[in-house]
Chain A
Amino acid sequence: MGQFILRRFGIMLLTALCLTFIVFFLTNLPPNLEKLAKTQGNMRMTDEQVENWLANRGYLQPMPVKYGQWLGILPGWVIEGTDGKLRGKCLRRDTPPEAAPRFCGVLQGDWGWSTRFRDEVATIVFKRLSLTGWLMLAVMCVMVPGALILGVLAGMKEGSRLDRTVSTLSIATTATPEYVSGVIFIAVFASSAVGLKWFKGTATSAMDDITFANFTLPVVTIALYGMGYIARMTRASMAEVMTTQYIRTARLKGVSFPAIVMRHALRNALIAPFTVIMLQFPWLLNGVVIVETLFNYKGFGWTLVQAASNNDIELLLGLSVVAVFVVLVTQLISDIGYVLLNPRIRIS
């Protein structure tokens, strides 16, 4: 088991390295750098000015060198610019140049500087991630119990009308992407045209103060998309358990139907949905980006969109490391959890 986890961590590290290098490569392509220079400096810069701007800020070094500096295995650049100002990757406004460290990369715990938000990447990522954390927590609290209850209700009597309705509804929710359900929810529950106005159509105020009115729609929008899938998995697992011999024995012994479901079937039926729930996290990440953009909730997803559309290189790298980490760790947990829950499977 220990060796298995160690190997998985090795693969995880390799994946993160490859992925950040791809992001690094794509964001450092010349046209993207030119866009960055123009949005940061001045829209009407000449080609020569762009060149100078980029050279002064160390963007025109060879790609592997820059990547090494970001990782912290090569010393950070210090360039005296054409305008006479001394700039360096490791120089910050508050420390004098002599006191600055030579290496300042991820290995030294320095995630770099965001050009879009003009702040430390680590600070931004931490702040935004905690905002998204609240959203995810609320989504999990709604989605998991809801999906499990629906799945169990549908699966305990396969083929009944309740089963068919729940199955069709769960297909319908998986067919409704977040940007569709979000738009429908806002139109119905928050617009002046329909007039219900139960909730707010934006979640900006939820960043300071979460209330029922401003947080319900984003949470329900994300939860609904994942719910159908988990409910279908739970239903399949429950239906399978209900056909086993020991359930029939209990039934023939005269145990009442609710007691069979609650005491005998439920626990065995919940093994399979566990892995599915863990694997939903990467999907949620995707949904979070859409929903945060739609409801203007400035969390992780919103920041990702901002960083990507402004070619904010170091912030994008930080965000993709977090994203990869979430995807791979949930995969690991689901694998380990599956083995722990199901004694028939062994990792060799």
Chain B
Amino acid sequence: MESLTWTGAAGPFLNPLLAVSAAVTVIAFLAEAVLGVLDKDRRVILDREGAALLSGGARGLASLALLGGAAGCLAAVAGYLIAGLVLEGPDKGIIGWLALRFLPVWVALGVLYSVSFTFRRRLGLYGKLFDSPIGMIGFGIVMFWLFTAVFADMIATHDPLAQVSGMKNKLPGTPVRGAGPGDFAWYLLGGDNLARDVFSRMVMGAREVLKIAPAATAFAFMVGVTLGLPAAYFGGRLDTTLSFLSNLVLAFPVILLFYLLVTPEIRAAGAEVPLWGGRVWTTSIPNVLAAVLFAFPIVFFVTLWNSRFRVRPGLRNVLVGLTVVLGLWMYSGLAFNADPAGVFGMDPNLLNVFVSVVFVNSPTVFRIVRGIALDIKTRDYIAAAQTRGERPWYIMLWEILPNARGPLIVDFCLRIGYTTILLGTLGFFGLGVSPESPDWGSTINDGRKLLSIYPHPALPPALALMSLVLGLNLLADGLREESLRD
């Protein structure tokens, strides 16, 4: 079996097209930028009927060339993707095979976009996202990785942990030695230094990252909101204490904090407390932090229902009861690893990483929530609510919080990206995750040792992480633009 080339049989036709279009795009862009800075604006001319028109000029020509070049680039990329779906076997090339492997993602993206775009007027803020090109692109990238994580089993070509002898550090497109008829015949993006498939590890890594980052961010928001609102609303000593504590955490160099919180030794430190069912809980720092931080969502929701439905005790009791039962059930599993039914549970390694990331993120959320709430507190509708005798927690959770949702949603997107970066940092320093784990940070860390000879194992996870965070940032930008508009 021969090695795959990057572009396969379509390469000889499409590569020149791509090269020429790219060159035209770059030159036209530079020309337009320079002309723009020099302020050679188009002049207004009058045509025969006396209507005002803009003259073309050199800048107009550059704009035209820019559009043409960009269109050429897009056509070449589309050509690669289509060739990948149409051509046979080795003719597909690496890009073609990649396009084919991601087919479930393309289908899912297509369905999502067509449905959302059709009903975008009825979908509130989410629908408005489809009015902003930046937001649409960002949302597309984020959903690409989300669908990749969902369909990872269908996309990956090999077992991410399997080592195939003779495939160590092999270049992209190398045929797998001794592949049976049922196996995939190539390592699409090459092999890493332990002879595992780089492509499959990258795809599986998306699942690892997207399992932790959004959940950790959500927990950090619960903590930040539950503490930030009263700090801003009540002020005084509560505010001083909480602000000092959050500044204390923020003054820590993040990496030092990670080293101190995520070392395996720290999990063993502490007294052992016997729990029900023969389980034992250690009072180590991460476990105590988990016990404290995981309690916040329960507190948040109980206060939320209680403040709103205090005057309707029937409904209030049902909602609070449900929250407490469900919450404590999950809490016992997640924080104490002692779920009586055995449904919820968390690997101690994962718990350690999760808790540290939540702990690092929540002071920043606290500061943001506090800042916004301090501003909203002075509005007239808060004074009106106070005058009609609403309780403080009702005002905080049902007057201030809904009005702060715009900036908070934007920050939530940004923060998922930041959490992804933090998780990568942990992996980069080899902290908290098992060495086998395919998450992007550790894969980059594995690949960097031989980086100047074999760059291909480190690049795919690096680019994947970058594109996911970029997508989240663009999405946040689009949301900010659209939420400012109303």
Contacts and interface: CB of A to CB of B under 8 A. Distances in A.
Interface in B375-416: none
**What class of interface size applies to chain A in its complex with B?**
35 or more
Main secondary structure of the interface of B (DSSP, over half): helix
Given A153-B37, A257-B39, A320 B253 contact: yes
Interface residues of B, number: 55
B255 A305 contact: yes
Nearest to A177: B421
Interface string A314-336: 00100110011001100000000
Contact of A175 (B134, B244, B429, B473): B473
A294 B449 CA distance: 9
B417 interface: yes
Interface string B448-466: 1001111110110011011
B275 interface: no
A153 B260 CA distance: 43
B452 A184 contact: no
Contacts of B248: 15, 18-19
A210 B305 CA distance: 62
A328 B424 contact: no
A324 B33 CA distance: 43
A23 interface: yes
A286 B255 contact: yes
Interface stretch (A29-37, A80-88, A126-134, A263-271): A29-37
A217 to B, nearest CB: 11
A183 B256 contact: no
Interface stretch (A99-107, A159-167, A240-248): A159-167
A328 B251 contact: yes
A308 B269 contact: no
Contacts of B353: none
Contacts of A11: 244
Interface string A159-195: 0111001001001101111011101101100111110
Interface string A252-268: 00001110000000000
B163 to A, nearest CB: 22
Main secondary structure of the interface of A (DSSP, over half): helix
Given A26-B260, A26-B285, A31-B266, A180 B451 contact: no
Nearest to B454: A193
Nearest to A163: B36
Contacts of A122: none
B29 interface: yes
Interface of B: 29, 32-33, 36-37, 39, 63, 134, 244, 247-248, 250-256, 259-261, 263, 265-266, 268-269, 285, 417, 421, 424-425, 428-429, 441, 444, 447-448, 451-456, 458-459, 462-463, 465-466, 469-470, 472-474, 477
Interface of A: 11, 14-15, 18-19, 23, 26-27, 29-32, 34-35, 153, 157, 160-162, 165, 168, 171-172, 174-177, 179-181, 183-184, 186-187, 190-194, 201, 256-258, 282, 285-286, 289-290, 293-294, 304-305, 308-309, 316, 319-320, 323-324, 327-328
